[in-house]
Every structure is written in C-alpha cells, then in structure tokens.
Amino acid sequence: MGRRTVNEHIAVARPVSKAVDFNRILMWLNFIVFVAMLGAYAQFGDNDYITGSTIWAASILSLQTHVALLIERRRRDPFVILLTFVLVLYYSLRIVTLTAFPFSFVLPRFEYAPTDSTFALVVILIGNAFLYAGFYAVRSRGKSILDGAAWRGKAPRRTIGLVAVTILFIYSRGILWDPGSIPRVFQFLLIFASQSSVLLMALVYYLLIRKSLSVGASATLIGLLVLEMLLHSLAGSRSAFIGVVQNVLFVLLAIHGTVSISRRLVSLGVVLLPLAVATLVVTFLVSTFVRAATETESSFSISTALDLSRNASERIGTAYALQAGLQTMFARAGFFDYSADLIAHRREYAPIINAAAYTRSIVDNILTPGFDVFDQPRISNAMRFAYEERGNVSKIASAGAYQSDQLGIYGEFFLLASYAAFPLMFVVAWLFKRVYVSFDDDDPYTITIKRVVTLSLFVETVNSFGIDWILMDTITLIAAVYIYRWFFAVVPQEAISKA
C-alpha cells in the first residue's frame, strides 16, 4: 500500500450547520462599526482629526470590507479574513473612537488637519484594492482542511517540558539569570528563546492533535498557555489576551481554511460582551500602570506585579476610566493613526525612513550580532528622532529611552515609494498567498506550522514596525520552527499502535 500524503487528508471546507462562520461575524461587526461611526459623527461632528469627507471615505472603507467578505464566502481565503479583521478593529473602529474621543498620541506630532485623515483613508482604500487583487490572483487549489485525526504526538511530555522551561526561563530573568552578564556577542541567541515562537508552536500542536492527547496532557498544556498569558499581562503587556486570540485565529485558519464558531458560543459571547469589554479595559489600564512602574527594572517578580496590579485597580474609578483610560486605550489600538501620520508627513520622516537607513539597520541589527557598524537603531526605534527633534539618529542614544513606533503597511510603503506603493502591495499580497498555497508535506504539523508562520508574518507586515523588524522576526520564526521541531513531533496513529 502506497504512502499517503497529507493532501489526501484534505477536503474542501463545508459550512457547519450549527455554527456561525467567522466571515459572517466580521460582516456584522463591520456593519455595527459603520452605524456607530455615523452615530458618533451625528452627535459630535467635526474635530481636529475628523470632518465630513473623512466619514465619507471611512464609509467607503466599510463598503469595501463588506464586498471583500462577500467574495471571500465564495472563494475562501485566510488572508482576506485576516486583513478585514485588522481593518474593522483597528482602522474603521478607530474612526469611531477618534470622532467620539479626539485624542491621539501620534497625530499631534506634527501639524495635522482633518483632510489628512481623509487622504490617508483614500490611500488605504487604494492599497486594499491592490492587496485583494494580489490574493485573488493566486488560486487556492480547493484544498483547505488539514486532518490531524490520524496523527498523534510522539512525546507529549517532551512538548510540555519545553513550554514549561521556556516560561520559567523568560520570567526568571533578573532572578535566576542576569541578561546583563551575557556577552553581547551571545545576546542575539536569546531571541531564539522567545516564548512567542515556542507558544505559537505549542498552540498549533494542541489544536491539531488535541483529540489524541490525554486529559492530563491537554489540561497541562492549556494551563501553561493560560499561565503565560497571565504572566505576560502582569509583566506589563497590554496585548497578551488579544495576541492569544489572534494566534488561535491563525491556527484555525491554517487547519480548517475558515473558522466556524458554535451558535451557543456566539450567543454567550453576545451576552457577555459588556463584561468582556469592561475586563479588557481594566486589563489594559492595569497593564499600562504596571508597565510604567516597572519599565526601569530588568527582573520580573510576581509579588511585585500583583501589588502593582492591586494598586492600579484601586486607582481606576469610573471617571478615570471614561475620561482618560478609554481614550488612552483607543489611541493605542488605533493603528490608523500611525499610517495617517506617515502619509501626511513624508517630508519630515524621509531622513529617518529610507532605503539607506533600512540597509544600515539590517547590517547593525541582523547581520552583525555583537557589534555595530553604523550605530543605526531599528527604524521603529529611530522615528522619535524626527518628531522629538533629537538630532542625528543613534542606536546608543535610543537605548537610553527605548521607544518603538508602529508604521503600518500603508504609511510605510507610501512613504518609501509614493504611488508606486500600490503595485508593491499587490506583489507582497501575491507572494504571501503564493508561498502559503505551495506548502505540501506528509506531516500535517509541518504544513500547519508553515501556514501559521506565513499568516503571522502577513499580519505583522500589515501592522508593520518596519521592514527590518519584519525581516528579523521572519528569521527568528523560521529558525525556531526547525530548532524546536523535535519537541513537537507527530506520528501516525498506527505507528503508535505497532510500537
């Protein structure tokens, strides 16, 4: 009997009768945001960042998103789902919050007018058209579902041990080991011990073969993943929960081609939505307080983090949450601001963000670990030299007060290439999709993790912190897949039974 490849276990995705397609959820969310935007503008009107033409452009963006989702229902595409997910939550919703709360950390850096917001939306609309075209130009070959039912983990204890050791290693920094005592030439090796890579691989492992795992193994693995999310939040991360949700979305799309959620879970989610939103707000504010209080410390202490969280919770009252907390959270989650700032101020950022600067950054931050040639920080870390007028860009100077600024694909590409950015976006979308559909292997875990890495890097490109940052993360993720692959080995069920 011939060897069966993984593609023989692949079928075309079919709708689940008792489930709600995530596509439909995005459609409703997009519509709700659109209505909220009209309502917010009717109540608050123009402000320093929003005018009537901005609302018109944002309305067209909502329509474009709706049409893209309609097409995606007939021709499944995980990239369209992820792009529309980002657009609804971080761009369209940002127009709503910017109308109701005209506050931004980014837009006041330079002179800014409401017409700049309108023009930025026009650039985003055109960019989206080229991105969607790039996806559509690549056929998905009609194979989307990976079947992991015939496979199981070769050594689940090995997997659990790696996850546990990784969490212990990361959160014992400054207690069991001192990063400052490690010679700089070896410090770059620490990036391969990143919990994000290991936990992403563990999440793929669990969701792909969870039915074959024992109850104890499943409970332990889930417990470790939840523990890391809590520790990450206590350490000051304001996106730990959202990051986990996004990673789950990556994995489910990679395995099933689409995501269907039980109607009961959707109904429960709607009922608990106010509580969930309130929890996210409080978590964000507490994490922000903890982050500010511990940013000068190199070690992580659970007791200190809990004390800071308790103090922060006591300081968060209704007035504070409404007046300062909400607008702060909306500003941080408003990815639109970053691209709009770059699009409006190409001249101011051009000396910082250019091809020569990226070349120097790649040399200093990727190709020469342990020493620098140009004293060039990553572009994301260098941007403050423009809006704070700090003078000559210096990696040494930026290390004293660390700050990383988001760019976003629309702002970064438009700043680098002007209107040539649009065909460049087509090429980027085409390449991601082409790479994604080319994966084939006997091992379902190998295909799934490659797909997940591709989807993750695509979203990172859309939310860009700079091409140099993306390149570094690409190297790190791909290297991690091969370095830790042994810990996540899966084998056919019959191989276990014969052993």
pLDDT tens across 134-154, in order?
Answer: 999 998 764 567 777 778 888
416 contacts: CB under 8 Å, gap ≥ 6: 353, 354, 355
Give yes or no for residue 305 having a pLDDT over 60: no
Per-residue tokens: 290: 């903890």
Q: Given this model, what pLDDT does residue 9 score?
A: 39
Q: Taking a C-beta distance cutoff of 8 angstroms, is the pair 298, 178 a contact?
A: yes
Helix ranges (DSSP H) in 235-323: 240-256, 263-294, 302-315, 318-320
Span of 173-187, 263-277, 481-495 with lowest mean pLDDT: 173-187
Give yes or no for residue 190 having a pLDDT over 50: yes
393-404 confidence digits (pLDDT tens) = 888 877 766 778
Give yes or no for residue 237 having a pLDDT over 80: no
CB atoms within 10 A of CB 170: 20
CB atoms within 10 A of CB 499: 7
Confidence of residue 129 (pLDDT cuts 50, 70, 90): very high
31 contacts: CB under 8 Å, gap ≥ 6: 62, 66
CA distance 423 to 457: 20
309 contacts: CB under 8 Å, gap ≥ 6: 234, 286, 289, 290
Q: Give the residue, 234 or 98, on which the prediction is more confident.
A: 98
Q: Given this model, what pLDDT does residue 10 score?
A: 36
Q: Given this model, what pLDDT does residue 398 score?
A: 76
Q: Given this model, what pLDDT does residue 453 score?
A: 94
Cα–Cα distances in angstroms (integers) from residue 13 to residues 142, 254, 255, 258, 263, in the given order: 9, 12, 10, 7, 18
CA distance 251 to 271: 26
70-107 confidence digits (pLDDT tens) = 999 999 999 999 999 999 999 999 999 999 989 899 99
Confidence of residue 314 (pLDDT cuts 50, 70, 90): low
Q: Taking a C-beta distance cutoff of 8 angstroms, is the pair 130, 425 a contact?
A: yes
Residue range 257-285: mean pLDDT, rounded: 76
Confidence of residue 14 (pLDDT cuts 50, 70, 90): very low
Confidence of residue 11 (pLDDT cuts 50, 70, 90): very low
Q: Given this model, what pLDDT does residue 228 score?
A: 85
pTM recorded for the entire structure: 0.86
CA distance 225 to 244: 9
Q: Taking a C-beta distance cutoff of 8 angstroms, is the pair 168, 161 a contact?
A: no
Q: Given this model, what pLDDT does residue 365 score?
A: 87
Q: Given this model, what pLDDT does residue 494 score?
A: 67
